[in-house]
Homo-oligomer: A and B are copies of this chain.
Amino acid sequence: MQYPNNIKKSYNHISVSHSNRGMSLENLLNHTNDYYIKKDIALIYKKPTPIGVAEVSYSDHKKLIKKAYFKEQSTLDYNGIYKGKYIEFDAKETLNKTAFPIANVHTHQIDQIRGVIRHQGIAFLIIKMNNFYYLLKGEDFLLFIDNSNRKSIPYTYIKNNAHLIKEGYQPALDYLNTVDEIYFKGE
């Protein structure tokens, strides 16, 4: 179906929560984690990006980095504790509307998802796609990639197997509410 350009635009806007528009997924999660910490709901932090320092200088007894480069995280970006359980996850965004490219998740991150699950922790991906936020359990992500040669996960698989995270005001992206429904059902 074809919409005139302006109608299509306003249609697209309906599914987007106005308060959070323009905020990056990382910012939404940082705000949300700050909220969880302030309310003592969970202690979950984004790990700092690792860097390799090549050159430093000293001014006023303070060490200043003059040359450095970004390195890759060997784990997922976010981890912490919630209701006594270890949680680790990563946030991924794609502009692709029909499939999530698996290359977005690096090999060592896939290994880490396996490892966290093996050690009885909770591991998942938060995926932003088509203006929705999904929580895809590590188990369901691995189920797909271990049983398929495809280079991307079809959007229908995500719609059917991942869990929609409701957007809100405080917190902006209450993913622990989704974690409750999945991992703490009946508690």
Q: Chain A residues in contact with chain B, CB under 8 A? A: 37, 40, 42-43, 45, 47-51, 62-70, 73-75, 79-86, 88, 112, 115-116, 118-121
- Distance in angstroms between the alpha carbons of A150 and B10 in the assembled complex: 64
Residues of B within 8 A of A80 (CB): 79, 86
Q: Let me know if A74 and B45 touch, CB within 8 A.
A: yes
Chain B proximity of A11: nearest CB distance (Å): 37
Residues of B within 8 A of A51 (CB): 48, 51, 65, 68
* 16 A-B residue pairs with CB within 8 Å: A40-B115, A40-B118, A43-B115, A43-B119, A47-B47, A51-B65, A63-B70, A64-B67, A65-B68, A79-B79, A81-B86, A81-B121, A84-B86, A84-B119, A84-B120, A86-B121
- Distance in angstroms between the alpha carbons of A68 and B75 in the assembled complex: 23
- Distance in angstroms between the alpha carbons of A87 and B73 in the assembled complex: 19
Chain B proximity of A128: nearest CB distance (Å): 22
